[in-house]
Structure 1
């Protein structure tokens, strides 16, 4: 791969005014320190905050094309996310970012179970232009996906083919991939 991997992380929090260092921040710092993977970390507590953060990245960050991975750490189930006790379907999210995620990989941490049928996944990819959506079928149950997320992200430093990256992830960490039920829609 010609360029470095860049990650834009958006984590759902109860209140954006309360500043705490989460496990996600620590893991992103570790990725930067150990592997040189650059990231931007933001929090949101509403759908408007999510939209504003991604729009700021899209329209004001001149390095947006460098960000391959949009890392979403937010609760939810199946085909929705939950922000401030309100549920939003991935179809609604897709419509907010219609055509704006071209070539990006949206990766959900296991704070949210990702369970899409073929039609839902294809709709999301077609509307947003995203290259792939990935996440886990097993939700947070005292085991976060953070260690597997870090490995997944680091594999982008070595190659660019998403299918080969996932195959390598399964080869290296089969038990954890199966336990968390890693999923890829592309």
Structure 2
């Protein structure tokens, strides 16, 4: 493939007629055909912090807003129609496996069915989650968030744990096993040629 070694007449005419300040005629530099391209590879990276999957967020603020429920439409639907499932998943991770998903979900469902005040139980877990990750009590007090907008609060907590690297669908023990197996991250190969 041949490269242009001079500027097209069209470019010169454009520059002459329009006289834009700062317009510089492009200069085409011929490729260096004599130098061989040697691919470079990044050295293996051994992680000192353990992550479960994807980018792990380590900030002291919520990774998503309270009303961003549709960022995870599947969880949003489950939480709308069966909040005890989402709550059970959250509780198992927040309690680090000491409470099972089934047990926490059953208590939540029973409180919801008998009194409608399951928000008093779930706000405790929001407070516990905030304490674990040093999150602010926002947009207002935990109990008020859960009382006024239980579904949004549960969705936000689910997304927060997910964004911090947890797969809530597999439970605490499986997440810990993934962390043990994923302690050594495979090296990243850099491509030397692109199209």
- On whether the aligned pair clears a TM of 0.5, the verdict is no
| Relative contact order higher in (CA < 8 Å, ≥ 6 apart) | 2
Of structures 1 and 2, the larger Rg is shown by 2
What TM-score do the two structures reach when normalised by structure 1?
0.23
Q: Which has the higher strand share?
A: 1
* TM-score, length basis structure 2: 0.22
